[in-house]
Structure 1
Amino acid sequence: MMMRHLYCTAGAGMEELLAEEVQHKLYASQVEQIPGRVFFCCNADLYTVTQLKSAERLFLLLRKTEPISLPKNPAKAAAVIKERVVGAPAIWKQAFLTWTALQDELQSSQQRGHKRRREEDEEESLTVADESTHTLTSSTHLLKTSNEMDESRQHTPSFRVSCRCSGVIARSYTSQRLSRTIGMAIKEHLGWKVDLREPVLEVNVYLSDDHCVVGIPLLKHPLASRSYMKHNGLRSTIAWAMTSLCPKQLNDCVILDPMCGVGAVLLEAAQEYSNAVFLGMDTETSQLQKAAENLKASGMEGRVQLLRSSAMEIPLADGAVDVVLCDVPFGRKFSCSSDMPTALPHLLKEMERVIRVGGHLVLLLSLQLSAQLKKIICTHKHNQHLNSSDTNSVHTDPSNTRSESTDKPKTLTFQKSSSEAANTPLLISSLQAQRTHKVSLGSTDAFIHTYTKIQTQNTTLALK
């Protein structure tokens, strides 16, 4: 299959994870990341590329050049844009042919999907009338799409330009003005038709002090929009990042989200790992109902158990789970009834209690809560000082996994917490920091913290 030059946009802080994902899943080459974008080459089929979890939007790369400098004179600026941004018509014609071939490939994948769904419907014994209607609707949709593609091949494509600029250029030119100038240059240079409402192609241009990037979106909808999320909570790319940053693979694990909300974090984990047990808890019935609806829409309702319970008193035995994933609520949109800065020490202690030695904790926290977290959890150096008098204390390697057979189905033991808040120490010494990753949530930033539970004198006594 032909090697394609593509790029994806990514939220701030997600570029590194996206670069790792395209290398791991697509075996991509020439991977390069800049703020907000990751460029790569791959010959994977388009359907596989659309399964990227950390990307926002997917583009066919048309050109990537050094930054341009635009004179203030409009006529001279238009000449520079024609030469530096638009360039040779042959590049655009080849890009359009590649884009058309990728659309055909995507259409074929959709057609195969319709066929599989029809076969599944037949297995479920749908009525002949229902099946005929479904087939007719699917065929009509595919025929319409095919006709549109044929029409675009026979004629010069219609287009519109969407331009974003920053830095020096933005001080002299607005994005709207640059979009019009670039659009006129493409029209005059290539003979393509401008259509601001329903164009065949959308041309995206990004101009900054460091880069000039021109691309064509391959999909109408962002990759970050999950069709199975009927109720939105934490952004899906960030929820996936929490799973990705866990120090171990999550297959054959028991995974808990004690403040699951609408289930975004568990859903992303369940999509990636088919051989794991997932448990979601929340105190709000309305949130659990939305989570149940999201699970049903995603086909994961049989794999994720939901329970109404407080994260301050998790009804699980000590060491019952392998991993805790938790987006700790903060901000106006995701606030909770508890005063989180006050509740955080006990919340962390309860999470630590239910994690087995060698298990992991992944938290998404605000900047304020992140600063507080460092005061609650001792550093590894402090851990060693606390445990230096205990010659029998053994630190468990974070890479260690359970020795029990993975063929046996895992069960969750529900019981009352054995450690009460009254005698819980403020400092937690059994959680060893692994990684801290800063991400953007749009209007604010947050940190993903990952920890591994190690064996200390206290955890040894608790086990006894």
Structure 2
Amino acid sequence: MSSSVEQGSDSVEPTPTQTEASTGSMLTVTIGATVPTGFEHTAAEEVKEKIGVDAKISKDRGRIYFPVTSDELHQVHQLRSVDNLFVVVEEYDHYQFKESKDETLTELQELASKLPWTNALEIWKLNRGLKRKKHHRKGVNQTKAKPGSETGDVPAADTEHPVPPQAMSASEGEAKEDNTPDLEISEQDSQQAAPEAKIIKFRVTCNRAGDKHSFSSNEAARDFGGAVQEFFQWKADMTKFDIEVLLNIHNEEVVIGIALTEESLHRRNISHFGPTTLRSTLCYGMLRLCRPQISDIILDPMCGTGAIPLEGALEFNSSFYIAGDNNDMAVNRTVNNVCHIQKRRANKDSTPGLPIDTVRWDLCNLPLRTSSVDIIITDMPFGKRMGSRKKNWDLYPSCLREMARVCRPGSGKAVLLTQDKKCFAKAISKMGGLWRRMHTVWVNVGGLHAGVYLLKRTGATIGQTTEEVNEPQEVVNTQEDQTEDKDPSC
């Protein structure tokens, strides 16, 4: 059994994550990515499609891992379904923690000096160089990008001096499933660095899930971070750090990584935010569910800030998007976001136009022809920040019936996101067989457990009763409602 970390025979079984390729300077590493919870398989499909490798879905929901070579690093930043990226230093599928907290924390301290940091740090250095080149700002001290910054391009911090060979990494706003805050190690004086070298600043972030650990996330970050500081002679800094070391613990799964993104990539398209703006990565997952085809007419009748049609127009640009809302402020935000993207594309000498039209309307009386839309995809009001659960009982049936009117019978589809699952299920049952549930993805939206429902428009006509819908279709509907709509968290 090979291991890059020497520990007691009963403690660790490491999983190989990094090997040197036969081409000398070419490196092969494992990249970890946080993705919208529930869309792990969608993200894995995108990795296979765009990079050509198989991704492993973590036991900890919301993460995937896949191998890349150093020359493929730029392709990783083009993925549309990932929020944050990090390079894996080492991972353990079955890490046997000691029963005593003191023994476990001591073991974590010893682990820091025995990890194979070299390849991961080289990839971080390459990643930092890619970001400098992208922004054409070599040698400039930069800060974090604002919400409307370029897709996947986050400026590096404190790059005005050369980085020591042993000290390389970037920062990542890692999504946290257990709502634990960023955990920072206490700052200590580092030893005197060479006069010509810049002191590297770092922090450790621990994300822990599981109730069988004898230690807290804060204790793990503090002790592991202290050992990292002693090993590299870096300086701890909780805010203006150059490097973020990640310690991800999910039950017995332990992954140590170095962040490659400073800010989540989900902010890439939006410059004007609203109270319920969807993450662009979640929008991409919803779009992939309905598989847009060339010349499809795609409708978002409750567009909010336009996150869904914007993501679609940029990634699936052979379709045409109609975005509308009954709120003037929402329509204005969408228009401003579209203009922002168009200006950004014009500055890059790209075709500035986007296949999007924006309209203000009554979403229960859409100014569209019957059977004129191929796909409907929208974020319905939860009744939390927008609307109310009481009003949803009238709103949902009216919306679904109007959506069925404008959607093509037999071939049309809808992808609808809502956290008000009970009201949605009741509204679907009142539709007289106009919609058939095909698939449900359970997602986490701002801490709320919601469902993304893939519906197919049946051949039933509006006004047709449930009894008039053909019998085989009713049997299929019943089976799907029993199997697809099971909520694993209930």
1:358-369 alignment, distance < 5 Å: 358-366=411-419, 367-369=421-423
C-alpha distance in structure 2 between counterparts of 1:70 and 1:298, whole Å: 52
Alignment partner, residue 136 of structure 1: none
Shift of 1:148: 5.0
Equivalent of 1:204 in 239, 246, 252: 246
User: For residue 221 of structure 1, what is the amino acid of its counterpart?
Assistant: E
**Structure 1 SS opposite 2:408:** strand
The 1:112–1:191 alpha-carbon spacing in structure 2 relative to 1, beyond 3 Å, is closer
Alignment partner, residue 288 of structure 1: 331
**Structure 2 SS opposite 1:242:** helix
User: For residue 40 of structure 1, what is the amino acid of its counterpart?
Assistant: F
The 1:245–1:112 alpha-carbon spacing in structure 2 relative to 1, beyond 3 Å, is farther
Alignment partner, residue 64 of structure 2: 38
The 1:448–1:285 alpha-carbon spacing in structure 2 relative to 1, beyond 3 Å, is same
Alignment partner, residue 82 of structure 1: 109
Shift of 1:273: 1.4
Equivalent of 2:41 in 3, 7, 16: 16
**Structure 2 SS opposite 1:245:** helix
Shift of 1:262: 1.4
Shift of 1:435: 1.3
Q: Deviations over 1:310-363 (max 9, x none)?
A: 111111111111111121112321227992211222211111111113121111
The 1:239–1:227 alpha-carbon spacing in structure 2 relative to 1, beyond 3 Å, is closer
1:207-286 alignment, distance < 5 Å: 207-232=249-274, 233-246=277-290, 248-286=291-329
Q: How many residues get paired?
A: 378
The 1:275–1:459 alpha-carbon spacing in structure 2 relative to 1, beyond 3 Å, is farther
Alignment partner, residue 135 of structure 2: 110
User: For residue 324 of structure 2, what is the amino acid of its counterpart?
Assistant: M
Shift of 1:30: 4.8
User: For residue 39 of structure 1, what is the amino acid of its counterpart?
Assistant: Y
Alignment partner, residue 60 of structure 1: 87
Gaps of 5+ in 2: 1-25, 139-154, 169-196, 343-351, 465-490
The 1:70–1:56 alpha-carbon spacing in structure 2 relative to 1, beyond 3 Å, is farther
Shift of 1:190: 4.2
Alignment partner, residue 362 of structure 2: 310
CA contact (8 A) 1:68 1:212 kept: no
The 1:436–1:192 alpha-carbon spacing in structure 2 relative to 1, beyond 3 Å, is same
1:292-441 alignment, distance < 5 Å: 292-299=335-342, 302-335=354-387, 339-357=391-409, 358-366=411-419, 367-376=421-430, 427-441=431-445
Q: Normalized against structure 2, the TM-score is what?
A: 0.70
Shift of 1:142: 9.6
Alignment partner, residue 484 of structure 2: none
**Structure 2 SS opposite 1:339:** helix
Q: Normalized against structure 1, the TM-score is what?
A: 0.74
User: For residue 381 of structure 2, what is the amino acid of its counterpart?
Assistant: P
Shift of 1:220: 1.1
CA contact (8 A) 2:397 2:428 kept: no
Higher helix share: 1
Alignment partner, residue 416 of structure 1: none
C-alpha distance in structure 2 between counterparts of 1:457 and 1:285, whole Å: 33
**Structure 1 SS opposite 2:395:** helix
User: For residue 72 of structure 2, what is the amino acid of its counterpart?
Assistant: D
Alignment partner, residue 459 of structure 2: 455
User: For residue 407 of structure 2, what is the amino acid of its counterpart?
Assistant: I
Q: Deviations over 1:281-307 (max 9, x none)?
A: 111111101111111111276521111
Alignment partner, residue 419 of structure 1: none
The 1:302–1:212 alpha-carbon spacing in structure 2 relative to 1, beyond 3 Å, is closer
Shift of 1:87: 5.2
User: For residue 37 of structure 1, what is the amino acid of its counterpart?
Assistant: R
The 1:459–1:312 alpha-carbon spacing in structure 2 relative to 1, beyond 3 Å, is closer
The 1:73–1:30 alpha-carbon spacing in structure 2 relative to 1, beyond 3 Å, is closer
Q: Deviations over 1:413-463 (max 9, x none)?
A: xxxxxxxxxxxxxx3324332211111113211111112223347699xxx
C-alpha distance in structure 2 between counterparts of 1:156 and 1:31, whole Å: 36
Gaps of 5+ in 1: 114-140, 377-426
Shift of 1:40: 0.7
**Structure 2 SS opposite 1:288:** helix
Shift of 1:218: 0.5
C-alpha distance in structure 2 between counterparts of 1:102 and 1:199, whole Å: 16
C-alpha distance in structure 1 between counterparts of 2:246 and 2:156, whole Å: 27
C-alpha distance in structure 1 between counterparts of 2:366 and 2:76, whole Å: 39
CA contact (8 A) 1:370 1:447 kept: no
C-alpha distance in structure 2 between counterparts of 1:143 and 1:259, whole Å: 38
Higher alpha-carbon deviation: 161-170 or 445-454: 161-170
Question: Is 2:39 the counterpart of 1:28?
Answer: no
Alignment partner, residue 386 of structure 1: none
CA contact (8 A) 2:44 2:55 kept: no
